[in-house]
Amino acid sequence: MTVKPRTHSAHWGAFSAELQDDKLLITPFAGDPDPSPLLNNFVNALRHPVRIATPMVRRGWLENGPGPDDRRGMDEYIAISWPQAIELAAGELSRVAAEFGPQAVFGGSYGWSSAGRFHHAQSQVHRFLNTTIGGYVRSVNSYSSGAASVILPHIVGDMNEIARRGVSWEEIAEHSQLVLSFGGLALKNSQVASGGLSEHTERGFIQQAARRGTQFISVSPLQTDLPQEAQGEWLAIRPGTDAALILGLLHVLVSKQWSDEAFLARYCVGWDKMVAYLQGKEDGLVRDAAWAADICGIDAARISALATELYGKRVMITVAHALQRAEHGEQPVWLGLVLAAALGQPGLPGGGYGYALGALGHYGKHHNQVSFPALPQGKNGVEAFIPVARIADMLLHPGEAFRYNGQTRHYPTVKLAWWAGGNPFHHHQHLARLRQAFNRLDTLIVHEVAWTATARHADIVLPATMTLEREDVGGAPTDRHLFAMQQLAEPYGQARDDYAIFSELAKKLGREQAFTEGRTARQWLEHLYQQMQEKCQQQQIPVPDFDTFWQQGQLTLPQLKDGGRLLRQLRRDPERYPLPTPSGKIEIFSQTIADFNDADCPGHAVWLTPQQQPDAKHPLYLIANQPASRLHSQLDYGQHSVNQKRDGREVCRMHPQDAAPRGIVDGDTVKISNARGAVLASVEISEQIMAGVIQLPTGAWYDPQDPQAAQPLCRHGNPNVLTLDIGTSSLAQGCCGQITLVEIARYQGTPPQVRAFEPPTIGDRLVVGGNRKGGEALG
């Protein structure tokens, strides 16, 4: 079948594509100055053998009925028909809701899924559970910014105003004299954005700023966290110690009387308490440059010199997602803002504080005057929730108390989890523990495109279409282009889109009208577009009707240049434009947080020593950062992702000083291990990483040699086998997956074959016996 070029969009870019003799030809959006190579992951994805072609049910679940089962992740599957799948899934949801209530159902589905605004899998799941059983246990925050999303509202009032509506790249290119970036500005991160990213402009703006004379300094264990176009300086820092470095810088500013006391007095609260902490007035410990140097591994003289470089310049301080994905991750986020305030920079053109600038393509962009609306999700009647990274704790410790944002809450007792569009065996830590947790469920139902590790643990697997196999509208509040995501290929096998699956399930449950409101998927697209069109008309913004838009394939929307508005208004008039904090000002000290009385997150930012410290057994830091070859684990089997592997395994990097005494040379297969397990990877020897640190990106599909092992070996190179599953602190309970401690060695013998992209065993037809009604044949 040949299809003429049609427009489409992904989280990593807009494009047009056509099928020629089953070969997908992709052309990036003409208006994109720096298209992402991730588009090439689509090329071989449509008919890959790891795709799921038909509904499946796990043999053990059929034989024994719902309940905890250690065979998840290693059982075989039975192919069934769609009517049988709908009957089983609807029946199990009804059973759990009737016996235990909707509070026993976890509507998981954390994940990026499609860039389309209607077929957003998480929204579809939540709408389905709300309209059919009255709600579900939800998760809050994200793995990427779990700590920051809780701390920032306390200290500056609104995370989105600091991140998505922060200082723009355009402003930095025009005004910033120095950009000090804790965690870097890696282009591999900013090439993706939820909902789509049609214009990759970060590289151009960084280059423009550098040519004008902006000085870039990247504080990171990885030199590659700053693009070459920045012509910047790399300050190699010991992982997880940025908070100590910032405290050392602040001490220099205070001791040299370089802090902007007028700004601090008018726009901030609590500076006096921070100064007392720096000077050790309560505990006798002075947090000066020498103290910081011992912790972070940067020479004290360089710390003092850096403070000198900051003083008197228009400075932009940025803090990456990576810093807060670690123990006490709230602290560097808080201290980055404190440093900017001490320099008097917030609210100045090209100056101040930018949380996660460079961590996503959304950040540093302008906002659309009108955005495409989201699918209504209905009302969730269940009050219970968990911080997203605490899912294993919830399943392993139902009823147990936990602290979150000043409250003591309790984990609900969940019997059924429904997942679509996400892969927790990518996002989560300590995968052996996560597997143990999922095995406690009565039932796991998963919609999936392909046989991810999550799908391999499911009891009922419902094959879902890829974004290329359905219609949608792609757009983001920070992307000025709206795209018609036109269908490019027929669904693989019997795959259906999530909306079609949920519509059929809702019909079976007698709630079809509540879920669909009588609309087809195309009619929902028209309805949502009309809502946007009406908002545009109210603001005299001309837009075509839906049919014209669909035929054209794209629409350009006007934008507002209001980045940095929150702090700019504060600086203009703090009485008229107070921040949405208790004081109306930047909270260097937060009485609210102090009153929570949590020792691991006191009332002002501090240095707290992580529990993970190098020792003789595990002397190396492992950085498990975002991959450059894919978005999270999406399309890991795609052409571009596979081409970046070696011998089918993920590539880790280490410094020559660490490789030589271990007899490791470039291209070796290595075993990286700690008390939680081990992974195999191919090694690259590089001086672009500091000594004492190795780096292995996340996203390689989990491929355990023995799924039941207490300390599994992943043949493919998934670092979350090794990472620690604890919360950042009692305040946020965020993810700590960025940093852990390991040892590394050459793999002895012939490495086992990677099987991550091979489907599980598909069993024969069987007759369901005593645990099922009717004894009907399935398969």
Task: Please choose, from the candidates 283, 163, 154, the residue with its C-alpha nearest in 3D space to the C-alpha of residue 589.
Answer: 154
Return the pLDDT at 3: 62
Q: Which residues pair with 180 in a beta bridge?
A: 217, 317
Euclidean distance between CA atoms 416 and 109, whole angstroms? 13
**What is the model's pTM?**
0.96
Q: Which helix (H) or strand (E) holds 138?
A: strand 138-140
Gyration radius of the chain over CA positions: 26
Look-up: residue for tokens 């950062």?
625
> Dihedral (C-alpha) 610, 611, 614, 615: value to the nearest 10 degrees?
150
Q: Considering the chain, what is the average pLDDT of its residues?
A: 95
Q: Using 50, 70 and 90 to split pLDDT, how confident is the model at 769? A: very low
Q: What pLDDT is attached to residue 771?
A: 45
541-585 pLDDT per residue, tens? 999 999 999 999 999 999 998 888 899 999 999 999 999 999 999
Question: For residue 704, is pLDDT > 60?
Answer: yes
Give me 356's structure tokens. 């996660």
Helical packing angle, 330-342 and 242-255, nearest 10°: 20
| Maximum Cα–Cα distance across the chain | 82
Tell me the C-alpha distance between 46 and 48, whole Å. 6
Query: What tokens were used for 355?
Result: 């949380």
218, 242 contact by CB (below 8 A): no
Q: In the chain, where are the structural domains located?
A: 56-137+374-556, 149-366+564-596, 620-746
d(CA 601, CA 125): 34
pLDDT of the residue at 562: 85
**pLDDT exceeds cutoff 70 at 766:** no
Task: Name the burial class of residue 36, with classes exposed (0-12), middle (13-18) and buried (19+) by CB atoms within 10 angstroms of its CB.
Answer: buried
pLDDT at 765: 65
- Please tell me the predicted confidence (pLDDT) of residue 432: 98
Q: What is the pLDDT of residues 60-77, one digit of tens each?
A: 999 999 999 999 999 999
Q: How far apart are CA 178 and CA 189, in angstroms?
A: 21
Instruction: Please state the rounded mean pLDDT for residues 151-165.
Output: 89
* pLDDT tens, residue by residue, 626-680: 999 999 999 999 999 999 999 999 999 999 999 999 999 999 999 999 999 999 9
Rounded Cα distance between 612 and 240, Å, is: 10
Q: Where are the alpha helices (DSSP H) in 177-218?
A: 187-190, 202-212
Q: Give the whole-number percent of the chain exceeding pLDDT 90.
A: 92
Residue 162 pLDDT: 83
Burial, 611: exposed, middle or buried (Cβ in 10 Å; 0-12, 13-18, 19+)? exposed
* Position 30 pLDDT exceeds 90: yes
From residue 750, give the alpha-carbon distance in Å to each of 138, 643, 670, 680: 45, 22, 11, 12
Query: Residue 563's pLDDT is what?
Result: 84
3-state secondary structure 14-66: EEEEEEECCEEEEEECCCCCCCCHHHHHHCCCCCCCCECCCCEEEHHHHHHCC
* Helices (H), ranges, 101-147: 121-132
Q: What are the structure tokens assigned to 119, written together?
A: 């077929």
Distance CA 80, CA 62 (A): 11
User: Could you list the active site residues?
Assistant: 110, 112
Q: What is the pLDDT of residue 323?
A: 96
Structure tokens at 612: 């993970």
b/e per residue 392-419 (b: at least 16 CB within 10 A): bbbbbeeeeebbbbbeebebbebbbbbb
94: three-class secondary structure by DSSP: helix
Check residue 774 and give its pLDDT: 32
Nearest CA among 362, 290, 317 for reference residue 11: 362
Packed helices 498-508 and 121-132: angle between N→C axes, nearest 10 degrees: 10
User: What gap in Å lies between CA 297 and CA 690, rounded to an integer?
Assistant: 10
Asked if the domains at 149-366+564-596 and 620-746 fall in one CATH topology, the answer is no
**Residue type at 97 in one-letter notation:** A
CATH code, residues 620-746: 2.40.40.20
Tell me which H or E stretch contains 277.
helix 271-278
Task: Give the pLDDT confidence score for residue 764 in this predicted structure.
Answer: 82
Please give the pLDDT value at position 778.
Answer: 58
Cα distances (Å, whole numbers) of residue 461 to 68, 143, 453, 731: 17, 25, 12, 36
Rounded Cα–Cα distance for residues 660 and 656 (Å): 6
Q: What is the rounded distance in angstroms from the CA atom of residue 441 to the CA atom of residue 108?
A: 13
Q: Which CATH number fits domain 56-137+374-556: 3.40.50.740, 3.30.479.30, 3.30.70.890, 3.40.50.1820?
A: 3.40.50.740
DSSP-assigned beta bridge partners for residue 445: 418, 460
With residue 445 as reference, give the H or E element that holds it.
Answer: strand 443-448
> Looking at residues 153-165, what average pLDDT do you find?
88
Instruction: Give the closest residue to 268 by CA, choosing from 339, 341, 331, 348.
Output: 341
pLDDT digits (tens, 9 = 90+) for 81-93: 999 999 999 999 9
* pLDDT tens, position by position, 424-470: 999 999 999 999 999 999 999 999 999 999 999 999 999 999 999 99
In words, the CATH class of domain 149-366+564-596 is alpha beta
Question: Residues 163-220: pLDDT tens digits?
Answer: 778 899 999 999 999 999 999 999 999 999 988 899 999 999 999 999 999 999 999 9
First to last CA, the chain: 30
- Residue percentage of the chain with pLDDT more than 70: 98
